[in-house]
Amino acid sequence: SQKIEQNSEALNIQEGKTATLTCNYTNYSPAYLQWYRQDPGRGPVFLLLIRENEKEKRKERLKVTFDTTLKQSLFHITASQPADSATYLCALPPWGSSNTGKLIFGQGTTLQVKP
């Protein structure tokens, strides 16, 4: 069965540095992948979507890459700030369901940016 793997250990970085989070998936090639941010006590909030034919997507200080050969997406936050501290979830459509809107979420990686 398909799996989504995100680093379960929290990522601690210094303010101003670039944070890089990893999402690995197995057993199939999704048509797209999404990244969400979740703050404590709140629901996830959509950040970026990248399609299988796109290598890279940017939005302000955020950058996402999608390597379909490695079956991996990297999520970068440049010039990180304490306000970027949150849990980041990757999500992708389950096998055979790319056109349904259904998503499977990774466990998420918690980012802590220290001032």
Partner 1 sequence: DAGVIQSPRHEVTEMGQEVTLRCKPISGHNSLFWYRQTMMRGLELLIYFNNNVPIDDSGMPEDRFSAKMPNASFSTLKIQPSEPRDSAVYFCASSLYSGGLTDTQYFGPGTRLTVL
d(CA 39, CA 110): 10
94 phi and psi, to 5 degrees?
-70, 160
Interface residue list for partner 1 (CB under 8 A): 31-32, 34, 41-46, 49, 51, 89, 93, 97-108
Q: Which is nearer to partner 1, 29 or 81 (CB)?
A: 29
User: Angle at Cα 89 formed by Cα 71 and Cα 41, nearest 5°?
Assistant: 170
Q: Which is nearer to partner 1, 20 or 97 (CB)?
A: 97
Q: Minimum distance between the CB of residue 72 and partner 1, rounded to whole angstroms?
A: 19
Q: Minimum distance between the CB of residue 65 and partner 1, rounded to whole angstroms?
A: 19
d(CA 53, CA 83): 31
Q: Minimum distance between the CB of residue 17 and partner 1, rounded to whole angstroms?
A: 27
Q: Which is nearer to partner 1, 45 or 79 (CB)?
A: 45
